[in-house]
Amino acid sequence: MTTTYTPTNPVWCSGCGHYGVKGAMERSLAQLGIAPHETMLLTGIGCSGSVQNNINAYGYHSMHGRVLPTATGAALANPELTVIAAGGDGDGYAIGGGHLVHALKRNASVLYILMNNAVYGLTKGQNSPTSGTAVDAVADAPIDGVSMGLAIPGTTFLARGFTRDADQLNDLMTKALEHVRAKKGFAFLEVLSPCVTYNDTFPDWDARVHNVDADPDYAPNDRGAAFVKTMNLNSEGKIPTGLIYHEDRPCFEAELLKNDTSPAQLSAHDPKNHLDKLQAVMERYHM
């Protein structure tokens, strides 16, 4: 008997920005002809994590803040998969911040979608690392993932979208997937995805976004110029969106295999040689 998987209905609040992320992901996967069985979607914890329940693909929930090392392992274990990691700003910039730094410099072929709503929505509205508000009367500066990504040697694809601009988000999502599928390495796509229940930033962000894709003088292949431009925009209270930076260099798995080329070592990396073990593990869940 063949079982057809039908994604469930999202549990997000009406108007949540995460619906736009889900839609952009589905449209880009369809546009590029990436089949569900060729896709692995791993997520962290929080409202953003439930996107995995609603996309027709292989899925896995990781521990809080640990989605990137888990996704990197999946990409190395089966290079034929299109591996997508997704999470929120609390998951990615707080407990998972160290993993993000190393994922950027390591450059494995994984798409990481970070849904930034500047709040911990699932736990009822606490400040997140991107809130930029006072805590106990002490100023708490917000983390800027784009500036951080530009400052890390090894970053190859860096972009920011906004769910209010669906066309741009669709384009960035597609370009990020193409980067990963071409084995050019890690693609980091931050998405401004407002929480309408606890932190409705739609009006504020709508007034402050600055689309660098529309700037004829902006060069996304010039790291230094991109850093200066984005920092200047930040100082003006603007939020840069679009393709921030793009570079071509060997991905992590290509470098790994280049330095690991004996027949025995290559065999150990080939998932086809471990199908019996995988089947045995799967059977344990059917008992």
Domain-by-domain residue ranges, the chain? 18-249, 252-287
For 213-240, what is the mean pLDDT?
A: 94
Lowest mean pLDDT among 6-15, 64-73, 200-209: 6-15
pLDDT of residue 2: 47
Confidence of residue 254 (pLDDT cuts 50, 70, 90): confident
CA atoms lying within 13 Å on the CB side of residue 41 = 24
pLDDT of residue 131: 84
Distance from C-alpha of 194 to C-alpha of 200, rounded to nearest angstrom:
6
- Interstrand relation of 239-246 and 157-162 (parallel, antiparallel or unpaired): antiparallel
For 148-160, what is the mean pLDDT?
A: 95
CA distances from 39 to 34, 67, 119, 271 (A): 7, 16, 29, 15
143: DSSP letter: P
Does position 134 have pLDDT exceeding 70, yes or no? no
Does position 117 have pLDDT exceeding 50, yes or no? yes
Does position 108 have pLDDT exceeding 70, yes or no? yes
Distance from C-alpha of 202 to C-alpha of 254, rounded to nearest angstrom:
41
What is the pTM (predicted TM-score) of this model? 0.88
Confidence of residue 198 (pLDDT cuts 50, 70, 90): very high
Confidence of residue 8 (pLDDT cuts 50, 70, 90): low
pLDDT of residue 269: 61
For 263-277, what is the mean pLDDT?
A: 68
Better-predicted residue by pLDDT, 242 or 154: 242
Per-residue pLDDT reduced to its tens digit, 65-93: 789 999 999 998 888 999 999 999 988 89
Q: For the domain made up of 18-249, give the CATH fold.
A: Rossmann fold (3.40.50)
Distance from C-alpha of 216 to C-alpha of 279, rounded to nearest angstrom:
53
pLDDT of residue 5: 54
